């Protein structure tokens, strides 16, 4: 399977390391032989139709800061031209999530689908701003658009709700979908001020370069949009979410919640409305997880409520969700 990877940061590099470490059993167990034919980052690109040497690629990125130094023979092909002109089966989009105009991911994804390429995106921006039209574009071009890694990192939240609960009618759900704010709120419950908890989270590398994405609830809202569209069949985008972050949560709010045997958590919920905001959650509720963990509780008509808990992010975890998507695509291609 010929693959183009856009973006070669934490997730992109984890993915190629996963390909390398699993190459034998991926082929033996699933018949999957990933061949990465093109990779680009913000500074340039690497191309090899016979398959890029992934170890050499990671070394070049580490040493020179860009994949463009992969080969001594420089190529000037831009990322977009690579998508337009290189023959590939799947595009893996891992550039940074942006909730203003979703670029550059949006153009990468739409260009690839119009070229009849399947797409796997871990980038939430395009899905948060244009989920319904992207799914229409995928259907029109008869390609698959997969995005398991956008919600829950490696924890298969979307697959669980869509696959394991098939036939059920999910009536509502609520979840802690942003590990960074959960880490900050957990530390505030342990006595730290908001400022100290934020500083600690930054030192540990948990906070996005644009801290507003975490603190103002935008990351959680983007995940809520994806869930609402995919699981509930709604046609919504970011502006439909009522969103409040955690900047105004005080230590007094946290102490008051504790007196009621509760903790304050940034909850993304789909009930009567779509909302992200700080809410009191009982300490006895399985949803009330701590640290950077994510959790989501689905309530359905006949099966009651089930809560899934897992690591919501991480390079390797997210790469493993891309692998799941690739296997699904491989299965569909084989079927046809
Ligand atoms: N990390 C996680 O645990 C996780 C989990 C779930 C989803 N995600 C999502 O996955 C995506 C990637 O995350 P990450 O942690 O890998 O981010 P990252 O380390 O910041 O990597 C982003 C990559 O995108 C490249 N890039 C940025 N602008 C570009 C442009 N205009 N053209 C081409 N490449 C461009 C960067 O290039 P340079 O290397 O040249 O800067 C970098 O290689 C994000 O959308 C994130 O929200 C991440």
> Which residue of 96, 108, 204, 225 sits with most ligand 1 atoms within 8 Å of its CB, as the best mutation to test the pocket?
96
CATH number at residue 97: 3.40.50.720
What is the 271 CA–ligand 1 centroid distance (Å)? Answer: 32
Q: What is the pLDDT of residues 118-172, one digit of tens each?
A: 999 999 999 999 999 999 999 999 999 999 999 998 899 999 999 999 999 999 9
- Among protein residues, the one with the nearest Cα to ligand 1's atom 18 is 9
- pLDDT class for 196, splitting at 50, 70, 90? very high
Q: Are residues 181 and 290 in contact, defined by beta-carbon separation less than 8 angstroms?
A: no
Please give the Cα distance from 299 to 170 (Å, whole number).
6
Q: Is 13 in the pocket of ligand 1 (CB under 6 A)?
A: no
Using DSSP bridges, classify how beta strands 170-176 and 262-270 pair: parallel, antiparallel or unpaired: antiparallel
Q: Is the model's pLDDT at 238 over the cut of 90?
A: yes
Q: Is 237 in the pocket of ligand 1 (CB under 6 A)?
A: no
Instruction: Tell me, yes or no, whether 127 and 209 share the same domain.
Output: no
pLDDT at 93: 98
Q: Is 315 in the pocket of ligand 1 (CB under 6 A)?
A: yes
Instruction: Tell me, yes or no, whether 163 and 307 share the same domain.
Output: yes
pLDDT at 186: 98
Q: How many domains does the structure of the chain reveal?
A: 2
Instruction: Tell me, yes or no, whether 135 and 167 share the same domain.
Output: no
pTM of the full predicted structure?
0.96
Note if 223 is an active site residue: yes
Instruction: Tell me, yes or no, whether 300 and 329 share the same domain.
Output: no
Instruction: Tell me, yes or no, whether 164 and 297 share the same domain.
Output: yes
Q: What is the mean pLDDT of the chain?
A: 96
> Which residue of 42, 120, 154 sits with most ligand 1 atoms within 8 Å of its CB, as the best mutation to test the pocket?
42
Mean per-residue pLDDT, 309-315: 93
- pLDDT class for 72, splitting at 50, 70, 90? confident
Instruction: Tell me, yes or no, whether 111 and 22 share the same domain.
Output: yes
Query: Which residue out of 223, 242, 259, 260 is catalytically annotated?
Result: 223
Please give the Cα distance from 182 to 41 (Å, whole number).
30
Q: Is 80 in the pocket of ligand 1 (CB under 6 A)?
A: no
pLDDT at 154: 87
What is the 12 CA–ligand 1 centroid distance (Å)? Answer: 8
Peptide bond into 88 cis (omega under 30): no
What is the 56 CA–ligand 1 centroid distance (Å)? Answer: 20
Instruction: Tell me, yes or no, whether 295 and 224 share the same domain.
Output: yes
pLDDT at 272: 86
Instruction: Tell me, yes or no, whether 302 and 172 share the same domain.
Output: yes
- pLDDT class for 96, splitting at 50, 70, 90? very high
Please give the Cα distance from 120 to 256 (Å, whole number).
44
Q: Is the model's pLDDT at 49 over the cut of 90?
A: yes
Q: What is the pLDDT of residues 208-234, one digit of tens each?
A: 999 999 999 999 999 999 999 999 999
Please give the Cα distance from 117 to 145 (Å, whole number).
9
Which residue do the tokens 């105004």 mark?
248
Instruction: Tell me, yes or no, whether 44 and 74 share the same domain.
Output: yes
Q: Is the model's pLDDT at 289 over the cut of 90?
A: yes
Residue 10 Cα distances to 95, 223, 256, 273, angstroms:
10, 20, 39, 34
Q: What is the pLDDT of residues 266-284, one digit of tens each?
A: 999 999 899 999 999 999 9
Instruction: Tell me, yes or no, whether 167 and 99 share the same domain.
Output: no
Classify residue 164 by its DSSP letter.
Answer: I
- The C-alpha R_g of the chain, in whole angstroms, comes to 20
> Which residue of 40, 94, 219 sits with most ligand 1 atoms within 8 Å of its CB, as the best mutation to test the pocket?
94
Please give the Cα distance from 138 to 105 (Å, whole number).
15
| % of residues, the chain, pLDDT over 70 | 100
Q: Is the model's pLDDT at 76 over the cut of 90?
A: no
290's CB contacts (< 8 A; 6+ apart) are 182, 186
Please give the Cα distance from 193 to 257 (Å, whole number).
16
Q: Is 123 in the pocket of ligand 1 (CB under 6 A)?
A: yes
pLDDT at 74: 78
CATH number at residue 179: 3.30.360.10
Q: Is the model's pLDDT at 16 over the cut of 90?
A: yes
Mean per-residue pLDDT, 232-245: 97
Q: What is the pLDDT of residues 102-115, one digit of tens each?
A: 999 999 999 999 99
pLDDT at 39: 98
DSSP 187-219: HHHTT--HHHHHHHHHHTT-S-SSTHHHHTSHH
User: Domain of 200?
Assistant: 157-311
Q: Is 120 in the pocket of ligand 1 (CB under 6 A)?
A: no
Tokens describing residue 216: 């103002």
Instruction: Tell me, yes or no, whether 161 and 307 share the same domain.
Output: yes
Q: Is 104 in the pocket of ligand 1 (CB under 6 A)?
A: yes
Burial of 167 (0-12, 13-18, 19+ CB in 10 A): exposed
Instruction: Tell me, yes or no, whether 301 and 329 share the same domain.
Output: no
What is the 268 CA–ligand 1 centroid distance (Å)? Answer: 24
């Amino acid at each position: 399977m010929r693959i183009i990877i856009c973006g070669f940061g934490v997730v992109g590099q984890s993915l190629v390391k996963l390909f390398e470490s699993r190459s034998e059993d991926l082929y033996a167990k699933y018949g999957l032989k990933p061949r990465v034919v093109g990779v680009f980052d913000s500074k340039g690109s690497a191309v090899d139709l016979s398959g890029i040497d992934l170890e050499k690629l990671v070394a070049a990125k580490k040493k020179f800061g860009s994949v463009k130094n992969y080969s001594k023979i420089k190529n000037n092909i831009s990322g977009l031209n690579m998508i337009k002109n290189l023959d590939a089966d799947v595009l893996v989009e891992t550039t940074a999530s942006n909730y203003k105009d979703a670029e550059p991911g949006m153009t990468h994804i739409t260009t690839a689908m119009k070229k009849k390429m399947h797409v796997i995106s871990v980038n939430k921006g395009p899905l948060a701003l244009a989920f319904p039209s992207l799914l229409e574009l995928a259907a029109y071009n008869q390609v698959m658009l997969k995005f398991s890694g956008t919600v829950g990192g490696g924890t298969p939240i979307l697959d669980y709700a869509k696959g394991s609960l098939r036939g059920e009618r999910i009536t509502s759900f609520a979840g802690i979908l942003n590990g960074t704010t959960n880490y900050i709120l957990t530390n505030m419950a342990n006595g730290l001020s908001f400022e100290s908890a934020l500083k600690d989270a930054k030192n540990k590398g948990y906070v996005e370069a644009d801290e507003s994405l975490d603190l103002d609830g935008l990351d959680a809202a983007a995940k809520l949009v994806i869930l609402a569209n995919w699981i509930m069949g709604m046609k919504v985008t970011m502006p439909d979410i009522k969103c409040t972050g955690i900047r105004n949560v005080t230590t007094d709010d946290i102490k008051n919640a504790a007196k009621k045997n509760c903790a304050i958590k940034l909850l993304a919920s789909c009930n009567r409305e779509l909302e992200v905001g700080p809410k009191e959650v009982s300490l006895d509720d399985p949803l009330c997880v701590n640290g950077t963990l994510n959790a989501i509780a689905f309530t359905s008509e006949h099966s009651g409520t089930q809560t899934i808990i897992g690591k919501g992010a991480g390079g390797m975890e997210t790469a493993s969700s891309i692998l799941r998507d690739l296997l699904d695509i491989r299965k569909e291609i084989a079927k046809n």
